[in-house]
Amino acid sequence: MIDVPSRAPPDYVPPSVATSAAPAETSRAPPPPAYAPPPPPLPAIYLCVGAVNGKHYLTRSPPPPYLAPLGVVGYPPQSLSHAYRTPATTGMSAPEFSKPPIGGPRIATGMTEVQDYCLPATHAQVCGYVQREYDDNHRKLRMAMRHEQPPLAQREQELQDQLRNCR
């Protein structure tokens, strides 16, 4: 048999609610994860060669076909002054005499559709591209006002996570 008093002793002070609940909350906290999640994959990047100028560049997606002047791609196979000669010109090389006529069907039909040549970039090229994006974003973040910083900080974290694939 247990003897339980009907009243608390006069010097008894009950424990506060905050101190009695704190140990129970800390015991319910989940343990920290034992491993780091894998980094997000690197983006798909393409190495392209411009159809008009032959320059190499990196891009996230191959560009669609576009119009370029026939003269830029090597047509007609003669000099521009000879190709655009009109009956009124005398064959002089002075700029004011060798200007091609403006307007008319020659300009409208003097274009052709071209497509840049693109291939998937190598791992090292993709890492270099992501590093340049990170550097550019980091520079913008340093210069940004406080209200402009949250999206830049989020982008910096995304790029840092992607760069973990490059180590």
Render pLDDT for 52-65 as a digit per residue (tens, 0 to 9): 899 999 999 999 99
Q: For position 28, what pLDDT does the model report?
A: 72
Phi and psi at residue 75, in whole multiples of 5°?
A: -125, 135
Residue-level pLDDT at 123: 94
pTM here is 0.56
Residue 111: predicted pLDDT = 83
Q: Of 60, 30, 65, 35, nearest to 50 (Cα)? A: 65
Given a cut of 70, the residues of the chain with pLDDT beneath it are 1-5, 17-27, 32-33, 75-109
Quote the pLDDT of residue 148.
95
Query: What is the SS3 string spanning 47-108?
Result: EEECCCCCCEEEECCCCCCEEEECCCCCCCCCCHHHHCCCCCCCCCCCCCCCCCCCCCHHHH
User: Could you tell me if 162 and 39 are in contact, meaning their C-beta atoms sit under 8 angstroms apart?
Assistant: yes
